[in-house]
Amino acid sequence: MQARFSWLAVLVSFLAAAILEVLGLPDILLKFRPEWLVITLIYWQLRYPDKIGISTAILLGLMMDVISGMTFGTHVLAYSVMTYLVLSVHQRLKMFPVIQQSVIVFFLVGIQLMVVYLLSMALQGSQSGLSYLWLAFTSAIAWPLVLILTDRLALSLR
Amino acid sequence: MNIGSSDKTIFVQGPYLLYRLAMAVILSISLIFIDSKFSQLDSARRFIGSALTPIYWLSALPENISHGLSGLFTSRESLQEELDKLKSQMLVLERKSQKLSSVTAELNRLRELLNASRLLDEGVVVTEMISASPDPDNQYIQINKGLNDGVYLGQAVLDARGLMGQVIDANDLSSRVLLISDSRHAVPVQINRNGLRAIAYGVGAVNYLELGSVPATYDIKVGDLLVSSGLGGRFPEGYPVGRVSEVIIAPGESFAQVRVVPEAQLNRSKLLLVVFKQNKPGTSNETAIPPQSSIVSGGRNASQI
């Protein structure tokens, strides 16, 4: 069931992820909000590694820098480093069962968040400790969901 | 599950990928450098921010719909009840405002006698919060008024009870407000009871602020109301900031540790007010805030006190 690549599906899924990313939530849930944009990016990189690569990561990074109000370039750097990691293991990652993929997603999102938080600590002096690992954890849990939903979307919009 | 395999994909690996990563790293590091040292990228930020407005609008849509639906199904009795309550509240407030207008006029006359520089009464515009920052360490909210509505950087934002924060970033349709509880924010305040001055620092917690450098001998008590002092030129004078909730004087320490509960409902208010300073010619010595002052210098220039 190889869906043809469609930019429409990519756009719709990234739009949905961005909306989930800015959705107003009670404070307690904010600490556990999965990194929707990042896992959607990982999904498309695994599906179409020749189409969705570092340039997409740069565009999304710029967008996320504006959404989060951080210094320009913070998310660009984090997303491109993560994209490099995804693209260099994508052949193996595709063969893994979903649970194992979730574990890898945990590490990928964790590395991406680490870059963002280290930079924001250096540039803006914010103190956050290791609480961002929760975000990586919930992202790993959300991975199978994204896999199923975006598969559906890609099939219906091809 | 065998996904997305085509023979082309083998070649995304290898040296090309590494070159592209190197380019991206160089790009992002130069972006970081330019954005933190210069202000050339602000227009790009404003442009992307305006382009992202539909996302904020869509993310607020479910809440607006549910709000509209609940309005549709409210019973007549409860509406009547609410109307009565609001009417009686309005009477009380009208009586207060009658007194207030005469007091304001008198105060302005007295200030004129004293050659004071500013008159009371700023204009306000009602705005709605459209999203909160996803990151608890960066306490921002997004409001639905932007440069097109006359919002400017450094503008004070209030809710019904007190000071919320200041505008730090504005695009054409929306703007970003840094809350007074953010750890990079500070407000110059004075105690309403006796006029003593202090600076209220945010600590990153929504439910309290801390007063900096309060001598242990200061006349400050639990329950004191703190209002903005207007010093530093950023916030208008006289708006409630918070109430003192805790004063700890440790023996041997020269400074008291004072905690303040913000009056504004920082994590609950949805309808907010943006305050416009009325710079009447000749009556004000406050010029417009330089658009490029950073958050820290903006908030912390209270040290001029």
The minimum CA-CA distance between A137 and chain B, rounded to whole Å, is: 16
* Lookup result for tokens 């199923």: A148
| Sign of the torsion formed by the C-alpha atoms of B150, B151, B155 and B156 | positive
- Cβ distance of B138 and A126 shorter than 8 Å: yes
Pairwise pLDDT comparison (A3 vs A122), residue with the higher score: A122
Burial (CB < 10 A; 0-12, 13-18, 19+), residue B266, is buried
| Closest Cβ opposite residue A19 in set B11, B59, B176 | B59
- Cβ distance of A50 and B135 shorter than 8 Å: no
Distance CA(A37)–CA(A40), nearest Å, equals 5
Distance CA(B192)–CA(B238), nearest Å, equals 9
Burial (CB < 10 A; 0-12, 13-18, 19+), residue A99, is exposed
Choose, out of A40, A51, A80, A95, the residue to mutate when testing the contact with B (most B CBs < 10 Å).
Answer: A80
The confidence score (pLDDT) of residue A1 equals 42
DSSP state of B288: P
Give residues 3 to 22 of B whose Cβ lies within 8 Å of A: 3-6, 8-13, 17-18, 20-21
Choose, out of B6, B27, B32, B131, the residue to mutate when testing the contact with A (most A CBs < 10 Å).
Answer: B32
pLDDT digits (tens, 9 = 90+) for A15-45: 999 988 887 676 677 778 899 999 999 999 9
φ, ψ of residue B282 to 5 degrees: the values are 85, -20
Outline where DSSP puts E strands in B97-185: 123-132, 140-143, 156-158, 163-170, 175-179
The yes/no answer to whether this complex scores an ipTM above 0.90 is no
The confidence score (pLDDT) of residue A37 equals 93
CA distances from A49 to B17, B79, B166 (A): 11, 57, 43
| Closest Cβ opposite residue A73 in set B13, B31, B55 | B31
The confidence score (pLDDT) of residue A5 equals 77
- Cβ distance of A124 and B131 shorter than 8 Å: no
The confidence score (pLDDT) of residue A100 equals 92
| Closest Cβ opposite residue A71 in set B12, B32, B49 | B32
Using a CB-CB cut-off of 8 Å, the residues of chain B touching A21 are: 134
Mapped onto helix, strand or coil, the DSSP state of residue B179 is strand
- Cβ distance of A72 and B31 shorter than 8 Å: yes
Mapped onto helix, strand or coil, the DSSP state of residue B69 is helix
Structure-token pair, residue B57: 């609008």
Distance CA(B139)–CA(B170), nearest Å, equals 16
DSSP state of B7: G
pLDDT digits (tens, 9 = 90+) for A64-84: 988 888 888 999 999 999 999
The confidence score (pLDDT) of residue B57 equals 82
Distance CA(B195)–CA(B211), nearest Å, equals 15
- What's the mean pLDDT in A95-115? 93
- Contacts of residue A80, defined as CB under 8 A and 6 or more positions apart, other chains included, come to A54, A57, A58, A61, B21, B24, B25, B28
Distance CA(B163)–CA(B180), nearest Å, equals 8
pTM: 0.68
The confidence score (pLDDT) of residue B13 equals 58
Asked whether the beta carbons of B211 and B199 are under 8 A apart, the reply is yes
- Cβ distance of A31 and B13 shorter than 8 Å: no
Residue type at A112?
Q
Distance CA(B196)–CA(B190), nearest Å, equals 5
φ, ψ of residue B280 to 5 degrees: the values are -70, 135
The confidence score (pLDDT) of residue B65 equals 84
Distance CA(A123)–CA(A119), nearest Å, equals 6
The DSSP result for B219-244, as a single string, is ---TT-EEEE--TTSSSPTT-EEEEE
Residue environment code for B166-182, b if the CB has 16+ CB neighbours within 10 A, otherwise e: bbbbbbbbbbbbbbbbb
The confidence score (pLDDT) of residue B278 equals 61
Using a CB-CB cut-off of 8 Å, the residues of chain B touching A58 are: 24, 27-28
* Lookup result for tokens 């006349």: B219
Give residues 224 to 253 of B whose Cβ lies within 8 Å of A: none
Measured in whole angstroms, the distance separating CA A17 from the mean position of its chain's CA atoms is 9
Residue A147 scores a pLDDT above 60: yes
How many Cβ contacts (< 8 angstroms) between chains A and B? 153
Residue percentage of chain A with pLDDT more than 70? 94
| Closest Cβ opposite residue B25 in set A46, A55, A77 | A77
Residues of chain B with pLDDT under 50: 1-7, 280-305
Q: Which helix (H) or strand (E) holds B188?
A: strand B186-191
- Cβ distance of A80 and B17 shorter than 8 Å: no
Distance CA(B102)–CA(B113), nearest Å, equals 17
Using a CB-CB cut-off of 8 Å, the residues of chain B touching A94 are: 2-5
